[in-house]
Structure 1
Amino acid sequence: MTRVFNVEKLLKQIVNSVRDDLRESLDMNELQNLVRETLYEKKYLLVLDDVWNEDTMKWDDLKKLLMVGAFGSKILVTTRNEAVASIMGTIPAYCLKGLSSEDCLTVFLRKAFEQGQEVLYPNLVGIASDIVQNCEGNPLLLMTLGSSLHMETNEWEWHEVKNHEMWNSKQNDNILPALKVSYERLPSNLKVCLAYCSVFPKGCVIEIDKLIQLWVAEGLVSKSNESEDLEHIGIQYFQELLSRSFFQDVEEYRSVFTSLCKLHDLVHDLALSAAGVEFCTVNSHTQIISDEARHVAFSDYDLSAAELPASLLNNQTLRTISFSVDGVGPMSTMFIENCIARFVQLRVLDISHSCFDELPRSVGELKYLRYLDINSNGSIKELPDSINKLLSLQTLRLSHCAQLEGLPKDIGNLISLRHLHITTKQTCFPDKAIGCLSSLRSLYIHSCTNLVSLSEGLQYLTSLRTLAIIGCPRLTFFPSTMKHLTALENLLIVDCEELTLLEWQDIEGLRMIRSLVIGGLPELESKDVQRLGNLQMLVLAGLPQLVALPRWLEGASATLQYLRVERCPNFAALPKWLENLIALEKLEISKCGKLSSLPEGMSCLTNLKVLRIDKCPILSSESEGTHISEARINRKLIQ
Structure 2
Amino acid sequence: MATRAIVQRACAKLRSAIRLEAVVHLNFARDLRDMLEVLVAIQTMLEDAEMQLFRDGSTASYLQLAVSAAYSTIDTVDELQDATTMTRMLPRLAIMKNAMATQVQETKKIVMWVLECSRELSEYTEENTIMFHQIIEERKTGPVFEEAMVLGRGSDKERIIAALLSTEPNITQENITILPIFGLLGSGKTTMAQMVFNDTHSLQGYDFRVWIHVSPQFDFHTIGNSIISHVSGRGQEEINHSSSDVEGMESMMNRLQKLLSGKKVLLVLDDLWEEDPIQLRRLKSMLTSLGDKMDVLVTTCNQAIARRICTVEPYMLNRLSDDTCWQIIKKSIRFKVGEEELEKIGREIASKCRGVPSAARDYAGMLDCYSRDARLWWKKTMELNICFSVMNYGSAFSLVLSTFELSYKSMPPSLRLCFAYCCLIFPASHSMVKDDLVHHWIALHLIEPSEILSATKIAEEYITRLQDLSFLQTAELDNVSGKDEKGAILFTIHDPVHDLMVWFLGNSSYRLATNPHGKIDDTYDKYLRALCCVGCSKVEFKDDSFSRKKCLRVLELKESSVQKLPHSICQLRYLGYLKISEFTGLVTLPDSFGQLKNLFHIDLSGCSRLAALPESFGDLINLSHVNLSRCHGLAGLPEPLQNLGKLVHLDLSFWSCFEEIGKNLGGLTTLEHLNLSNPCCHLDHRSHLKGLKGLKDGLCKLTKLRYLNLSACLNPIFYYHQSQEDSLKYLGECVRNLSSLEHLDLSHHTFLFGLPASLGELNNLKTLNLSGCIRLKMVGEMKSLTFTNLRMCRGLESCQFVVRIIDDDDVYSSSNIVQLEVVNCQELQISCLENVRSRVEAQRIKMAEKQKIKKLKLSWTLDSLRSVEDSALLGELLPPPNLQCLEVNGYAGTCLPEYLGELTSLQELKIVCCKHLNSLPDRMQKLTSLKDLCIFDCPELEKWCQLEENKKMLAHIPNKNYEEPASTSRQEIEEDDRSGDEVEAV
* Fold similarity call, TM over 0.5: yes
Deviations for 1:535-592, whole angstroms, at most 9, x for unmatched residues?
21121133232123226x4799998932425766x62565465735546995765999
- Counterpart amino acid of residue 369 in structure 1: L
Is 2:793 the partner of 1:543?
yes
CA distance in 1, matches of 2:853, 2:224: 47
Give the structure-1-normalised TM-score: 0.61
In structure 2, the CA distance between the partners of 1:344 and 1:224, relative to structure 1 (3 Å rule), is: closer
Please name the residue that 2:530 is paired with: 295
- Counterpart amino acid of residue 445 in structure 1: L
Deviations for 1:265-321, whole angstroms, at most 9, x for unmatched residues?
3333455565612211234377633521200111355555223897x6423211111
Structure 2 counterpart of 1:398, from 628, 632, 641: 628
Please name the residue that 1:439 is paired with: 670
CA distance in 2, matches of 1:350, 1:151: 40
Tell me the percent identity: 21
**Is contact 1:180-1:270 (8 Å) kept?**
no
In structure 2, the CA distance between the partners of 1:468 and 1:300, relative to structure 1 (3 Å rule), is: closer
In structure 2, the CA distance between the partners of 1:274 and 1:320, relative to structure 1 (3 Å rule), is: farther
In structure 2, the CA distance between the partners of 1:441 and 1:102, relative to structure 1 (3 Å rule), is: same
CA distance in 2, matches of 1:543, 1:515: 16
Counting only pairs closer than 5 Å after superposition, residues 62-461 of structure 1 correspond to structure 2 as 99=188, 102-103=191-192, 122=226, 128=271, 144=301, 176=401, 178-197=403-422, 198-225=424-451, 228=453, 230-249=455-474, 258-269=488-499, 272=502, 276-283=507-514, 284=516, 288-307=523-542, 313-323=547-557, 328-334=558-564, 336-338=565-567, 340-361=569-590, 362-423=592-653, 424-427=655-658, 430-450=661-681, 452-453=692-693, 454-461=695-702
In structure 2, the CA distance between the partners of 1:577 and 1:143, relative to structure 1 (3 Å rule), is: closer
Deviations for 1:387-438, whole angstroms, at most 9, x for unmatched residues?
2222111211222334443320241221111211113212555345323333
Q: Secondary structure at the match of 2:489?
A: strand
In structure 2, the CA distance between the partners of 1:467 and 1:98, relative to structure 1 (3 Å rule), is: closer
In structure 2, the CA distance between the partners of 1:176 and 1:528, relative to structure 1 (3 Å rule), is: closer
Please name the residue that 1:561 is paired with: 815
**Distance apart, 1:517 and its partner CA:** 1.4
Pick which of 446-455 and 582-591 moved more. 582-591
Please name the residue that 2:811 is paired with: none
Please name the residue that 2:711 is paired with: 470
**Distance apart, 1:493 and its partner CA:** 0.8
- Counterpart amino acid of residue 531 in structure 2: V
Please name the residue that 1:606 is paired with: 868
Please name the residue that 1:88 is paired with: none
**Is contact 2:662-2:698 (8 Å) kept?**
yes
**Distance apart, 1:480 and its partner CA:** 1.7
Please name the residue that 1:51 is paired with: none
CA distance in 2, matches of 1:407, 1:358: 16
- Counterpart amino acid of residue 474 in structure 1: P
**Is contact 1:434-1:455 (8 Å) kept?**
no
In structure 2, the CA distance between the partners of 1:109 and 1:578, relative to structure 1 (3 Å rule), is: farther
CA distance in 1, matches of 2:580, 2:562: 12
- Counterpart amino acid of residue 102 in structure 1: T
CA distance in 2, matches of 1:111, 1:261: 30
Give the structure-2-normalised TM-score: 0.41
In structure 2, the CA distance between the partners of 1:101 and 1:178, relative to structure 1 (3 Å rule), is: closer
**Is contact 1:438-1:461 (8 Å) kept?**
yes
Larger Rg computed on CA atoms: 2
In structure 2, the CA distance between the partners of 1:590 and 1:370, relative to structure 1 (3 Å rule), is: farther
Q: Secondary structure at the match of 1:291?
A: helix
In structure 2, the CA distance between the partners of 1:302 and 1:214, relative to structure 1 (3 Å rule), is: same
CA distance in 2, matches of 1:561, 1:98: 28
In structure 2, the CA distance between the partners of 1:464 and 1:415, relative to structure 1 (3 Å rule), is: same
In structure 2, the CA distance between the partners of 1:206 and 1:385, relative to structure 1 (3 Å rule), is: same
- Counterpart amino acid of residue 192 in structure 1: L
Please name the residue that 1:71 is paired with: none
Gaps of 5+ in 1: 1-96, 131-141, 153-165, 621-639
**Is contact 1:558-1:583 (8 Å) kept?**
no
In structure 2, the CA distance between the partners of 1:443 and 1:214, relative to structure 1 (3 Å rule), is: farther
Gaps of 5+ in 2: 1-185, 197-211, 228-266, 274-298, 310-386, 393-397, 682-687, 719-729, 809-813, 861-865, 884-986
**Is contact 2:744-2:765 (8 Å) kept?**
yes
CA distance in 1, matches of 2:627, 2:225: 50
**Is contact 2:555-2:578 (8 Å) kept?**
yes
Please name the residue that 1:139 is paired with: none
Deviations for 1:165-194, whole angstroms, at most 9, x for unmatched residues?
x99x989xx995643442232112212222
Deviations for 1:140-188, whole angstroms, at most 9, x for unmatched residues?
xx96589799989xxxxxxxxxxxxx99x989xx995643442232112
Counting only pairs closer than 5 Å after superposition, residues 465-504 of structure 1 correspond to structure 2 as 465-472=706-713, 473-476=715-718, 477-478=730-731, 480=733, 482-503=735-756
Please name the residue that 2:896 is paired with: none
Structure 1 counterpart of 2:825, from 552, 561, 571: 571
**Distance apart, 1:602 and its partner CA:** 11
Q: Secondary structure at the match of 1:240?
A: helix
- Counterpart amino acid of residue 494 in structure 2: H
CA distance in 2, matches of 1:397, 1:212: 16
**Distance apart, 1:257 and its partner CA:** 6.8
CA distance in 1, matches of 2:677, 2:304: 39
Q: Which has the higher contact order (CA 8 A, sep 6+)?
A: 2
**Is contact 1:207-1:259 (8 Å) kept?**
yes
Higher helix share goes to which structure?
2
Q: How many aligned positions are there?
A: 481
CA distance in 2, matches of 1:541, 1:204: 28
Q: Secondary structure at the match of 2:650?
A: strand
CA distance in 1, matches of 2:642, 2:476: 34
In structure 2, the CA distance between the partners of 1:445 and 1:574, relative to structure 1 (3 Å rule), is: same
- Counterpart amino acid of residue 425 in structure 1: S
- Counterpart amino acid of residue 579 in structure 2: D
**Distance apart, 1:381 and its partner CA:** 4.0
Deviations for 1:456-508, whole angstroms, at most 9, x for unmatched residues?
232332322111112323244336262222211111111123445431x2212
CA distance in 2, matches of 1:112, 1:572: 55
- Counterpart amino acid of residue 606 in structure 2: S
Please name the residue that 1:512 is paired with: 764
CA distance in 1, matches of 2:637, 2:697: 16
CA distance in 2, matches of 1:557, 1:280: 39
**Is contact 2:804-2:816 (8 Å) kept?**
no
CA distance in 2, matches of 1:376, 1:358: 12
